[in-house]
Amino acid sequence: MNTVKRFLNFLKRQPPARIIALGFALAILLGAALLKLPVSVRDTATVSWVDALFTSTSAVCVTGLIAVDSAESFTPFGQAVLVGLIQIGGLGVTSIGMGLALAAGRRISLRGRTLVREALNVDSLEGMIRLIRAVLFFTLCFELGGVVLSFPVFIQDFPPLHALWVSIFHSVAAFNNSGFDILGGLRNLIPYHDNLWLNLVTCALIIFGGIGFLVMVDVVKCRFRFRKFTLHTKVVLTTTGVLLVSGTVLLQITDHVGWMAAFFHSVSARTAGFSTISIGDLSDAGLFVLIILMFIGASPGSTGGGIKTTTFFVLMQEIWCIFTKRRPGAFHRRLPENALGKAATIALLGVTVVCTGTFLLCVLEPEATFVQLLFEDVSAFGTVGLSTGITPGLRDVSKFVLILTMYTGRVGAFTLLSIWVERPGPLARYTEEAITIG
How far apart CA 265 and CA 243 sit, in angstroms, is: 12
| Main-chain phi, psi angles of 41, to 5 degrees | -110, 135
Instruction: Say how many C-beta atoms besides its own lie within 10 A of residue 433's C-beta.
Output: 5
Is residue 186 within 8 A of residue 194, CB to CB? The reply is: no
Instruction: Give the dihedral sign, CA 294/280/183/395.
Output: negative
pTM assigned to the model: 0.88
| Spans in the chain with pLDDT lower than 70 | 1-16, 93-106, 108-113, 115-127, 414-430, 432-438
For residue 340, the model assigns a pLDDT of 84
For residue 121, the model assigns a pLDDT of 66
**Most distant CA atoms of the chain, gap in Å:** 73
For residue 422, the model assigns a pLDDT of 53
Q: At what angle do helices 231-255 and 259-268 cross, to 10 degrees?
A: 130
Which residue type sits at 99? Answer: G
For residue 151, the model assigns a pLDDT of 95
For residue 111, the model assigns a pLDDT of 64
Is residue 15 within 8 A of residue 419, CB to CB? The reply is: yes
For residue 138, the model assigns a pLDDT of 87
Q: Residues near 407 by Cβ (< 8 Å), separated by ≥ 6?
A: 24, 25, 28, 57, 61
Is residue 149 within 8 A of residue 167, CB to CB? The reply is: no
- Let me know the angle formed at the C-alpha of 111 by 215 and 404, rounded to the nearest 5 degrees: 70
For residue 380, the model assigns a pLDDT of 92
For residue 262, the model assigns a pLDDT of 94
Strand partners, 74: 41
CA proximity to 56, closest of 43, 73, 42, 44: 73
How far apart CA 384 and CA 270 sit, in angstroms, is: 7
Q: Residues near 289 by Cβ (< 8 Å), separated by ≥ 6?
A: 247, 250, 251, 254, 269
For residue 110, the model assigns a pLDDT of 65
Is residue 212 within 8 A of residue 236, CB to CB? The reply is: yes
For residue 125, the model assigns a pLDDT of 61
Secondary structure (H, E, C), the chain: CHHHHHHHHHHHCCCHHHHHHHHHHHHHHHHHHHHCCCCCECCCCCCCHHHHHHHHHHHHCCCCCCCCCHHHHECHHHHHHHHHHHHHHHHCHHHHHHHHHHHCCCCCCHHHHHHHHHHHCCCCCCCHHHHHHHHHHHHHHHHHHHHHHHHHHHCCCCCHHHHHHHHHHHHHHHHCCCCCCCCCCCCCCHHHCCCHHHHHHHHHHHHHHHHCHHHHHHHHHCCCCHHHCCHHHHHHHHHHHHHHHHHHHHHHHHHCCCHHHHHHHHHHCCCCCCCCCCHHHCCHHHHHHHHHHHHHCCCCCCCCCCCCHHHHHHHHHHHHHHHHCCCCEECCEECCCCHHHHHHHHHHHHHHHHHHHHHHHHHHCCCCCHHHHHHHHHHHHCCCCCCCCCHHHCCHHHHHHHHHHHHHHHHCHHHHHHHHCCCCCCCCCCCCCCCCCC
CA proximity to 230, closest of 332, 327, 128: 332
For residue 122, the model assigns a pLDDT of 66
For residue 356, the model assigns a pLDDT of 94
Task: Label the pairing between strands 333-334 and 329-330.
Answer: antiparallel
